[in-house]
Every structure is written in structure tokens, then in C-alpha cells.
Amino acid sequence: MDIGFIGLGNMGAPMARRLIAAGHKLTVYDTRSEPVQDLVKLGAAAATSPRNVADRVETVMASLPSLQISEAVALGPDGVIHGKRIKRFIDLSTTGSRAAIKIAAGLTEKNIVQIDCPVSGGVGGAAKGTLAVMVSGPKADVGAVKDALAVFGTVFVIGEKPGMAQTMKLANNVLSATTMAATAEAIAMGVKAGLDAAVMIDVINAGSGRSRASDQKFPQSILPRTFNYGFATGLMLKDVRLAVAEAKELGVPNEVISKVLDAWETTNTEYGGDSDFTSIVKMIERRAGVVVGKEQ
């Protein structure tokens, strides 16, 4: 299948590589030349803009870091909306349902189908092809691209309306953010009381408190003090902000996730948006007066 791919960052680059490895023909674009050239070496063709990508292929995928960039790539002056060949735009980014609905409405005016397709599973999942791939869009168009999306992991068809997959992704990510923050506070509590953090993690993982935070993030990136799990604080903050905003707009209780948002706002302020999101542990350590784990 001929596919355009826009956005070759931490998630996009490994996903694009998997498409090439699966035999798909890629036309790629990124604002940085290095990741483009890396994929050209693997057989991809380089494009000069999102519009140029959409001039060459019918199916365009995008993996982008912010709502503003997603909207510009889709609807901007040099966006895919102005492409000559594009028929469907698959947004792999996390934008929230409101942005997805706006993009879908704009693209529909040019008879371009918007397919929401946020993913979950981190950089490791993108490289291994073990992501959770959430899709919403017209049945026929989703069916046309489902095999290509399966290269990334397990495909879950959420519904046909624009934004439905985005809502699913926000629900997932706000739970991820919550378990990360809560596990950090629980471990800091134990360490302050004299417990060993590594033993605590072993007990939690054998018990009912187990989560992705305790099972993977703490052993891999926090206890060794590397803080390099591979997802940025700023991106997690963006997702939690979107989740809280969506909950408020829908009129559902949001007391817990609003408090979680406060913790991520503080982490972002103190450690910066480019820091690894496991830095929330450092924020909690500072206030608890403890250090979790040991440098190797």
C-alpha cells in the first residue's frame, strides 16, 4: 500500500519503519531532515511538505506532538487538505475529540475522510508492534487501512463518529497518568517509613496494586535512576489537560483527575516539558525528603 507518513519523532519513526518492513511504500515528511534521511535509506521517498505528501498518495498518516501542529498539518496553508491525491487522513496523534471533530469537518469539505487513530504503548510498543491502536471512522475506510494499522499492534475499532477514538485514548492516558502519580506517592511514603523501594515494588507487583507504573516504569527507569522511559512530561501533561477538559465538557465528575492534573502541572513547571515523564517521581521525592532507588 502507498502511504504518506508525517511526523517522525519518538513514536512516528519506529512506526514508519515497521510499515516499510511490512512491505508498504512510504512517502515521508518531517521538519527535521535527519529522521527523513534515515527512512530514505530504508526505501522511503522524501516529501517537502504535508501538502506534497498528500499530492502523492491517497492515504496519509500523521504522528504529531500537539493540537496546533495537527491542525496545521491537516488544515493549514500547506496542509494535506490541499493535496491532489489524498482520500483519507489517519491521525495517530492525541488531540482530544474536539480537535478531531474540527479537523474532520474541515477535511470533509474536500471529500477527505478523517480517521482518528491514537495509539498507546509507548516507544517500546511502537518499535515492537505491540501498541493498542484505537480507530474511529467510516467502516469502509477503516476496513481499507486496517491491515496497515495492524502493523503497529492490536487494532480496536471504537466507532464511526469523529473523536470517539480520541475519547478512548484520553481515558486510557489519564489512567496511566494517575497510576504513575499515585505509585510515586505510595513508594515515597514507604521509603520515608524505612521500607526498601525495590521490595515494595516486588510486593505491589505480586498483589492487587500492580499497574504498568509498578510493573515497568519503576523497575526500568525509576529504581535505577535513569528516568528515561521515553515519554515526555509535556506530552503527558497535554493528555491529562485534554482529559480533564473533556470530562468537564461532558459534565462528569473529575475531582480525581483534576488533582492528578495539578501534579503534572507542577512536574512540568519544575522539570520542563522535555523531561521524561517519570520525573514526576523527583517532584514527589523533593517534597517527601526521600530518594527512591539507587544509581547503578
Catalytic residues: 169
Backbone φ/ψ region at 55: left (φ over 0), alpha (ψ -120 to 50), beta: alpha
Query: Phi and psi for 25 in degrees, rounded to 5?
Result: -95, 120
Q: Please enumerate in sequence order all residues whose Cβ is within 8 A of that of 199, keeping only pairs 6 or more positions apart, or say none.
A: none
User: How many beta carbons lie within 10 A of that of residue 269, not counting itself?
Assistant: 12
How would DSSP label each residue in 126-175?
HHHT-EEEEEES-HHHHHHHHHHHTTTEEEEEEESSTTHHHHHHHHHHHH
Question: Which residue, 116, 119, 92, 95, is CA-closest to 104?
Answer: 116
Which ranges in the chain belong to alpha helices (H)? 12-21, 33-40, 50-56, 67-75, 97-108, 122-128, 139-149, 164-192, 197-206, 212, 233-250, 255-271, 280-288
